[in-house]
Amino acid sequence: MFDEGDLAVRASRCNIRLAWVQGNGVNMPDCFPTDRHGWSELLPERQGTRSLSGAHRVAWAVVGAGVTGLACARRLAALHPDQDITLLDARLVGQGASGRNSGFAVAVSHFGGGFEADRMASYRRVNRINQAGLDLLRTQVAAFGIDCQWREDGFIHTAADRPAVRECGHFLRYLEAMEIAHTPLDAEALTARLGTALYQAGVHLHEGALLQPAALVRGLADSLPANVKLHERSPVLGIAQGAPLTLRLPNGEVRTDNLVLASNYEVAKLGFLRRYVVGSTLSGSFTRVLTDEEVAGVGSQKEWGTLSLHSGGATLRLTRDRRISLRNAAEYHGGALLSDTQLARRQAIHRAAFEKRYPQLAHVPFEHGWSCVEGISRNMTNFFGRQADNIFLAGGYNGSGVSRGTAFGTALADYASGGDSPLIDDCLASTPGAWIPPRPLLDIGAYLTVRSRFRGVGLDR
């Protein structure tokens, strides 16, 4: 039974009613919406695993089959080979944020503002976590033959307008002080590499990987150990404390000794981090596949990725399958994806940014648009650790979740199993999250926080 003392999300609190989600062939609660867009749209259609029905009793349950949940379930399976692990996701694998980001697995984080020598220990701690996640992903992609367009020779941080050029100077001082491998790039070098004359300064970071994010998480899901049972389109609607814990789903329940929450900002729908993490909605577009002549005009490299040194600047990819992907819009939208109508309006922003960089490709249409929700905290920290008896959580990656989420998920499995490691220590040392006021102040504060990212963005947008 679920009473008022439960750590449960009421159907009324989530405004849940079972509604048909076109194309998914399943009844889904309104508080877990999805669509067909994103990097999955470039892949063959995925049927997915069976949604959960009936009553189940397991030793471990993991909620969320993004990079964090997949890494956690994989590690739990290795630590407890004789125990059953149930992995639940409200959507199809690849339809959440892990399959909708721009496909950067970072080894080195960019910390905005001037270099602060007294923060070097913190910088190193975050980068150790990033590197651990990158190492894990590299090993898994190779071991399981995951075809996700993995390319590991770093990427380029770019600057076009004065604030970003100034930030480039800060970034270079940080990289030099930290002895991180990099190559400074001037305007001429950037034009040669990227085929656009927009950027005035930049840095090639030698470490880091580019990838097709939806293909990555699909590959990770399809190669899970035998004692992990994945149920897609299986949203958890409520959690009842006790021994065992009980998870309520639309068509069944799971009773478990241990629970890991790996659904990032959506843990708030289950009563956790409700004043510490919110969802910021990003959007971007893909071009059609470029011709040989068009590809020759977008730089000397066959594949590349750029991250703006302005927090509100555009992220670009020239993908292995010869599309340009551009993401340059972020907004507070109540933690929801954009409707097709809203996305079509945002594409005018994407189009202006694309043609500003590549006027020679003004004739190339966008073939797909997409939106994504990232979990952000007020003070840009992450969350890791125990939330209640036998309930563990990791999330809040502020847009850097591919490598960091992989490391957090792996470390959380060890931590929940009573282990100890330097990686666990690094994850536990995350700065405490800053409290976010309730609505309507939440909406106002989140809106202003997201808008502040674009202050002074100028040409970098």
Q: List the one residue out of 142, 143, 157 whose CA is nearest residue 207.
A: 157
User: What's the pLDDT at 6?
Assistant: 39
pTM of this prediction?
0.92
Would the pLDDT of 249 be above 80? yes
Question: Is 234 part of a structural domain of the chain?
Answer: yes
Question: Is 236 part of a structural domain of the chain?
Answer: yes
User: Taking the CB of residue 321, how many other CB atoms lie within 10 A of it?
Assistant: 12
Question: Is 435 part of a structural domain of the chain?
Answer: no
User: Taking the CB of residue 392, how many other CB atoms lie within 10 A of it?
Assistant: 21
3-state SS record for 102-171: CCEECCCCCCCCCCCHHHHHHHHHHHHHHHHHHHHHHHHHHHCCCCCCCECCCEEEEECCHHHHHHHHHH
For residue 235, what pLDDT band results from cuts at 50, 70 and 90?
Answer: very high
The DSSP output letter for 8 is: B
Would the pLDDT of 21 be above 80? no
Secondary structure of the chain: what % helix, strand, coil (to 5)? 35, 25, 40
The kind and range of the H/E element at 79 are: helix 67-79
For residue 347, what pLDDT band results from cuts at 50, 70 and 90?
Answer: very high
Would the pLDDT of 349 be above 90? yes
Would the pLDDT of 26 be above 70? no
Range of the domain at 69: 18-100+214-268+382-401+412-421
Question: What percentage of the chain has pLDDT greater than the value 70?
Answer: 90
Mean pLDDT of 105-127: 95
Question: Is 76 part of a structural domain of the chain?
Answer: yes
User: What's the pLDDT at 449?
Assistant: 64
How many distinct structural domains can be found in the chain? Answer: 1
Question: What percentage of the chain has pLDDT greater than the value 90?
Answer: 79
Six token digits for residue 66: 């993004």
Average pLDDT, the chain: 90
Six token digits for residue 172: 């270079």
Any idea which of 108-122, 165-179, 342-356, 445-459 has the lowest mean pLDDT? 445-459
pLDDT (tens digit per residue) in 158-201: 999 999 999 999 999 999 999 999 999 999 999 999 999 999 99
User: What's the pLDDT at 439?
Assistant: 67
Any idea which of 21-25, 71-75, 275-279 has the lowest mean pLDDT? 21-25
For residue 321, what pLDDT band results from cuts at 50, 70 and 90?
Answer: very high
Would the pLDDT of 18 be above 60? no
Question: Is 52 part of a structural domain of the chain?
Answer: yes
User: What's the pLDDT at 397?
Assistant: 87
User: What's the pLDDT at 398?
Assistant: 81
Please state, in angstroms and as integers, the Cα–Cα distance from residue 135 to each residue in 22, 154, 367, following that order.
38, 14, 33
> Of 175-189, 271-285, 327-341, 369-383, which has the strongest mean pLDDT?
175-189
Mean pLDDT of 94-116: 95
Would the pLDDT of 226 be above 60? yes
Question: Is 27 part of a structural domain of the chain?
Answer: yes
Mean pLDDT of 17-33: 49
> Tokens 């984080």, residue?
109
Would the pLDDT of 255 be above 60? yes
In degrees, to the nearest 5, what angle opens at C-alpha 115 toward C-alphas 112 and 119?
Answer: 95
User: What's the pLDDT at 11?
Assistant: 35
Would the pLDDT of 19 be above 70? no
Question: Is 58 part of a structural domain of the chain?
Answer: yes
3-state SS record for 87-99: EECCCCCCCCHHH
Is residue 58 within 8 A of residue 86, CB to CB? The reply is yes
Give me the CATH number covering residue 36. 3.50.50.60
User: What's the pLDDT at 441?
Assistant: 67
Mean pLDDT of 305-326: 96
Question: Is 368 part of a structural domain of the chain?
Answer: no
User: What's the pLDDT at 434?
Assistant: 80
For residue 47, what pLDDT band results from cuts at 50, 70 and 90?
Answer: confident
Would the pLDDT of 14 be above 60? no
Is residue 153 within 8 A of residue 206, CB to CB? The reply is yes
For residue 16, what pLDDT band results from cuts at 50, 70 and 90?
Answer: very low
Half-sphere exposure of 298 (CA within 13 A, CB side): 29
Q: List the one residue out of 156, 108, 154 whose CA is nearest residue 133.
A: 108
